[in-house]
Structure 1
Amino acid sequence: MSAPQSIFQYKKYWAKRFGTAPFLPMSKEEMEKLGWDQCDIILVTGDAYVDHPSFGMAIVGRLLENQGFRVGIIAQPDWYDVNAFKVLGEPKLFFGVTAGNMDSMVNRYTSDKKIRTDDAYTPNAAPGKRPDRSVIVYSQKVRQAYKSVPIILGGIEASLRRIAHYDYWSEKVRRSVLMDAKADLLLFGNAERALVDVAHRIASGANIKDITDIRGTVFMVDSIGPDWIEQDSTTLDKPGQLSPPVNPYQMISPDKTKPVNAKSDISHSKNHSREKIVVRLPSYEAVCDDPIMYAHTSRVLHLESNPGNARILVQRVGNRDLWINPPPIPLEMDEM
């Protein structure tokens, strides 16, 4: 992994000369008033654009603007019309796509799978302004509009769905949202540091396919190189049989209860540097068919979630590998 550096240590992008925009542009007319001929980065979001810290894309947009980039926003576009994704033209660097502050399915449906009557992140709380699984729909429309422009996913919907996951709404296990969205890169967790790094690398001419050493990123690879040491996830957590649900109302005398061994069967490799270890999770196909392996995969994902010692995870999906780098290092106080 590349060593994290302060987000203030990067050289400002040349477009910093345009200064700070009163509001991030949402149309060509607003771009022209700022003297821009093109956006460097365009953010597509399922939320309305309100230039306030309670709206995630406002913070992300201003963060990138502070780095010198010209940032535009497409908020709650009509997902039936590809032209809605062309209102700002083609960005010079990449599209950033997010469902917004909430998972789009949670935002639109109740736990009873009934459609909600309001949306807190839409003007007048109007419902129905974003599609189901917004990250997938928006990304596919962006790809339809501009086939060669890199697409980067982020936000809570992308983060929670970065590996094979159980989808409550369809009652099945779905593969990583990165694949369904046909995006190039996924940033998860507190991605400010990763986003700034990726933006500057692409601006410097790097191909997004070659950006593989940044924490908090997920991408697809054809195979694992010879420099990596592969470790099976079952050496970290031993899958066991599922226990039947306990009836809380059943009367059991103390002498018939069995002691519970809370010690987990976890081992760690001591022969190799953790930085060179790749933990092999059960494949997408395996977790689809086996609830025990699904539970095991979820447990290992959580075990490897500490930025201080987490290792790289990989999960086979078809004939390719989903590569999940360790979580990002949190920002320092002055960076926040």
Structure 2
Amino acid sequence: MNALVDVSFFPRAAKPLASYRKFWAARFGTAPFLPMSREEMNQLGWDSCDVVLVTGDAYVDHPSFGMAVIGRMLEAQGFRVGIIAQPDWQSAEPFKALGKPNLFWGVTAGNMDSMINRYTADRKIRTDDAYTPGDIGGKRPDRAALVYSQRCREAFKDVPIILGGIEGSLRRIAHYDYWSDKVRRSIVVDAKCDLLLYGNAERAIVEIAHRLSRREPIEHITDVRGTAFVRRSDDDTRLGWFEIDSTDVDAPGTVESHINPYQTTSEQAAGQGTTCSKEDQTVRPEPVEGQAEASTSSARTDAGSGSKPLRFMPNPALPQRVGKQVLPPRERTVIRLPSYEQVKS
């Protein structure tokens, strides 16, 4: 069975973006625009693109558009970056407009989840799209990240696909899908992408681009923070890794009561059965005869009622930990999330 691996917690120091040696294509300089056609590539003197970005948004060379930021950042590392914005998804031909990428496809549904962009909360089709020229709706498919990934694979099947954006980030594990009212599998499984990058993935995409440029197989890039990928149970790349069940990560230990910040020092000491003032240490007068009889009768009543203090007992169905738990190396450990079958049931 396929297993989703999340390596977001690796304690590896982030490498500064300016510390990488630039790719050889940096000699072409900074392009006035990211090419979207062969004609624009010819104007820049390019024979091919190292990275082709596919997005569900219009291409506007401005920081408010995520793929423009990613494209310019990869360009600053020396890579030739082309962009295919809002392609016709009915066939794979529009995805071949810039030719075969030398390194990888970068796929995203855009600045918004494609389903939210297309439908209202009442599941009615929207008539506008703020990220499309003319504010026209319907320029991207439902579940655009899935459709674009499939078309990229159909266009050039041997080119790695790296999926990102908000749609991929929110759907990287088994999740409840409001639009179909059911639990769906991880988008990594459905899109059949090689790597999924989630969150602020600027450092991750730069590292992956440089490692792919050094001819490192995409299957071996399994140690980048903020990435998710699929591995089969019989895959040799799983050797040397340790798994921790997610249901065992936060097993409760000793529960200590919180200190009430409004208690005085004397009240805190009294709660622990001690005292911290001379007045409290003085011998209190003996109660009068009537009070002593009343307290004795109330104590007998409590004893006769059979009331007992509450006691917390361990659950025998859960594994019991004795002493300090010994964990495997953190840098070679992954957390096993609940499977799609478990969540669905």
Same fold, TM-score > 0.5, yes or no: yes
- Measured after TM superposition, the shift of residue 182 of structure 1 is 1.4
User: Is the counterpart of residue 271 in structure 1 residue 326 in structure 2?
Assistant: yes
User: Is the counterpart of residue 283 in structure 1 residue 339 in structure 2?
Assistant: yes
Aligned ranges for residues 1-336 of structure 1 at < 5 Å? 1=10, 2-223=12-233, 225-237=238-250, 270-272=325-327, 273-289=329-345
Q: For the structure 1 residues 28 and 157, does the alpha-carbon distance in structure 2 shift closer, same or farther, using more than 3 Å as the test?
A: same
Equivalent residue of 1:166, what SS? strand
- Measured after TM superposition, the shift of residue 236 of structure 1 is 2.7
- Measured after TM superposition, the shift of residue 183 of structure 1 is 1.0
The letter for the 2-side match of 1:278 is V
- Measured after TM superposition, the shift of residue 279 of structure 1 is 2.0
Q: Is the 8 A contact 2:231 2:238 kept in 1?
A: no
The alignment-based identity, stated in percent, is: 65
Larger Rg: 2
Q: For the structure 1 residues 6 and 117, does the alpha-carbon distance in structure 2 shift closer, same or farther, using more than 3 Å as the test?
A: same
Equivalent residue of 1:8, what SS? helix
Cα distance per residue 1:72-120 (max 9 Å; x no partner): 0000000002111011011111110000000000111001000111000
- Measured after TM superposition, the shift of residue 269 of structure 1 is 7.5
Q: Which runs of 5+ in 1 are unaligned?
A: 240-264, 290-336
Q: For residues 269 and 284 of structure 1, what CA distance do their matches in structure 2 show?
A: 32
Q: For residues 33 and 239 of structure 2, what CA distance do their matches in structure 1 show?
A: 48
- Measured after TM superposition, the shift of residue 237 of structure 1 is 4.2
Equivalent residue of 1:72, what SS? strand
Q: For residues 39 and 239 of structure 2, what CA distance do their matches in structure 1 show?
A: 52
Cα distance per residue 1:219-247 (max 9 Å; x no partner): 111238453332222223469xxxxxxxx
Q: For the structure 1 residues 25 and 286, does the alpha-carbon distance in structure 2 shift closer, same or farther, using more than 3 Å as the test?
A: same
Q: Which runs of 5+ in 2 are unaligned?
A: 1-9, 253-317
Equivalent residue of 2:205, what SS? helix
Q: For residues 151 and 199 of structure 2, what CA distance do their matches in structure 1 show?
A: 24
TM-score, length basis structure 1 = 0.75
Q: For the structure 1 residues 279 and 21, does the alpha-carbon distance in structure 2 shift closer, same or farther, using more than 3 Å as the test?
A: same
CA RMSD of aligned residues (A): 1.9
Q: For residues 324 and 106 of structure 2, what CA distance do their matches in structure 1 show?
A: 37
Q: For residues 182 and 91 of structure 1, what CA distance do their matches in structure 2 show?
A: 18
Q: For residues 40 and 226 of structure 1, what CA distance do their matches in structure 2 show?
A: 32
Q: For residues 97 and 112 of structure 1, what CA distance do their matches in structure 2 show?
A: 28
Cα distance per residue 1:122-141 (max 9 Å; x no partner): 00110000000000000101
Larger % of helix: which?
Answer: 2
Equivalent residue of 2:334, what SS? strand
Q: For the structure 1 residues 210 and 269, does the alpha-carbon distance in structure 2 shift closer, same or farther, using more than 3 Å as the test?
A: farther
Q: For residues 242 and 189 of structure 2, what CA distance do their matches in structure 1 show?
A: 25
Cα distance per residue 1:257-304 (max 9 Å; x no partner): xxxxxxxx9x99742243343222221101011xxxxxxxxxxxxxxx
Equivalent residue of 2:19, what SS? coil
- Measured after TM superposition, the shift of residue 157 of structure 1 is 0.2
Q: For the structure 1 residues 145 and 269, does the alpha-carbon distance in structure 2 shift closer, same or farther, using more than 3 Å as the test?
A: farther
TM-score, length basis structure 2 = 0.73
Q: For residues 86 and 183 of structure 1, what CA distance do their matches in structure 2 show?
A: 18
Q: Indicate the larger mover: 39-48 or 2-11.
A: 2-11
Q: For residues 184 and 220 of structure 1, what CA distance do their matches in structure 2 show?
A: 8
